[in-house]
Structure 1
Amino acid sequence: MTTLNKIILFTDKDGFARFKEEKIELSEGNEKSRLSTWMNAEGLQLRQSPVGFASDFHCTSKPQWLFVLQGIMEIGLRDGTTRRFGPGEYFYSADTLPTGVSFDTNIHGHCSRLIGDKPLITAFIRD
């Protein structure tokens, strides 16, 4: 069976953001066009971030897909892990703050920054 890799940024049981990977089965379509099953989506938001963009540590407010359309986006975790995503790459951001927990600047969230000299253009799709 053909699959796509789903990179997931999530909040682990200890409150720290981590990456994990799962497979999305492309079980529909035909030999020329393999398709996943339909996934629900709430909306689409586009973002342009200028050269030099960098965010503070934060959590995702609601789980969403992030697709990089232009530029290179680096995601940093509290443990020093980083991953870079370039044009055509994507990940599922689900590192939400656990219910009833206040944001702890030493534990929660991820940061992001633009690598390179072109503005970063991304598309967010909430499910």
Structure 2
Amino acid sequence: MNQPFTVTTITTNELGISIFLDINFEVQQRGGLFLTEQIASKNFRIRKSDIGYTTDFHLSGDATFIIIQKGSLKIELQNGDFKIFSSGDFFIAKDNLPSTIVFDNKIHGHKASVIGNEVLQAIHIKL
């Protein structure tokens, strides 16, 4: 039961292109719990987005741990890869560019859209 906690993450590769990457967080048993080490956070927000909400390609800015409470969110990369996150799912968005690369919404970033027939409700925790 002492297996790592795997979190899907939107990050950037060495060219500044957004990619999906699974990141493992090691856990330790403490009594009947399996916990990761503390992960520092800055703040959290509660989000709602209407059915049909969509964005253009963008970067995450600050790293954010997102927990979907209700509804479904599709995250799509420039190469057409996508993942759908629904109630109970979570992910980290932390794709960003070094200051030497200028953002181009035809090359960089990811886009998000609420899919299905339910309003999206999520918690954003800034890391």
TM over 0.5: yes
1:53-93 CA-partner distances (Å, limit 9, x unpaired): 11110001111111111101100000000001111111111
In structure 2, the partner of 1:81 is 81
Whole-angstrom distance in 1 between the partners of 2:114 and 2:51? 7
In structure 1, the partner of 2:34 is 34
1:85-104 matches, cutoff 5 A: 85-104=85-104
Task: Give the residue type in structure 2 aligned to 1:87.
Answer: S
After TM superposition, which residue ranges in structure 1, 4 or more long, deviate above 6 angstroms? none
The percentage of aligned residue pairs carrying the same residue is 25
* Cα drift, residue 34 of structure 1: 1.2
Consecutive unaligned residues in structure 1, runs of 5 or more: none
* Cα drift, residue 97 of structure 1: 2.5
Whole-angstrom distance in 1 between the partners of 2:19 and 2:40? 24
Instruction: Confirm or deny: 8 A CA contact 1:72 1:84 kept in the other structure.
Output: yes
2:26 paired with 1:25: yes
2:3 paired with 1:2: yes
Instruction: Confirm or deny: 8 A CA contact 1:75 1:112 kept in the other structure.
Output: yes
Consecutive unaligned residues in structure 2, runs of 5 or more: none
In structure 2, the partner of 1:107 is 107
Matched position secondary structure for 1:27 = strand
In structure 1, the partner of 2:120 is 120
Whole-angstrom distance in 1 between the partners of 2:67 and 2:56? 20
Matched position secondary structure for 1:96 = coil
TM-score by length of 2: 0.93
